[in-house]
Chain A
Amino acid sequence: AQKITQTQPGMFVQEKEAVTLDCTYDTSDQSYGLFWYKQPSSGEMIFLIYQGSYDEQNATEGRYSLNFQKARKSANLVISASQLGDSAMYFCAMRDRGAGGTSYGKLTFGQGTILTVHP
């Protein structure tokens, strides 16, 4: 069974500074995908960034980067130059291979980290 662990219930950061949100995972699969989603107070889940298990380079999307350390089974999210609008709940998730060996299975989510950006 897959498991995602986010050990930081809450994080605080000053505006314009960088922040790292931790995520560790456990799986016996060789092929998997790792995702980060943002959930503002409005409730909608917003996709931020993706890392495939076979990707050799860390993923980057604008101010978001994923620090992928496969041997340690960690996939930390780094947000650079934090903005007030970054205040939200952040979820790390893993996608399994899915039924019948198809590649796009369900997501398993962590417990989330609430990020608060101070002005």
Chain B
Amino acid sequence: DTGVSQDPRHKITKRGQNVTFRCDPISEHNRLYWYRQTLGQGPEFLTYFQNEAQLEKSRLLSDRFSAERPKGSFSTLEIQRTEQGDSAMYLCASSLPGTSGGAGEQFFGPGTRLTVL
């Protein structure tokens, strides 16, 4: 399978605990994006990387959230001191470089569903 993969698929945690999610993009894609989706809503942008550089962060991304892409391949999203409002689906997507032309569509992974009790 050469698509975007995310791990774990489901995570249940207690309020106040830290959680970390992993995303493996399509291998030739240098852009990697994180979104959050709550039930019945469209995904909301969190942050994105070009290679290992974090180019943009949403104001939604509080200090409790941190994302890394240390070697320009996989990425991790960590949430510290989780709150019940963090319960959502966390989606990762990847795309080709902006210089490649074309649509540059983002390919999404299956998501990680987080439930904070």
Contact = CB atoms under 8 A, between A and B. Distances in A.
Given A33-B104, A43-B111, A103-B98, A98 B43 contact: no
B26 interface: no
A111 B42 contact: yes
B59 to A, nearest CB: 11
A91 B55 contact: no
Contacts of B113: 43
Chain B interface residue bracket vs A: 20 to 34
Contacts of B31: 104
Interface residues of A, number: 29
Contact of B50 (A52, A93, A95, A102): A102
A50 interface: yes
Given A98-B55, A98-B56, A106-B56, A44 B108 contact: yes
A99 B56 contact: yes
Interface string A20-51: 00000000000001010100001111110010
Given A43-B89, A109-B42, A98 B108 contact: no
Contacts of B98: 98, 102-104
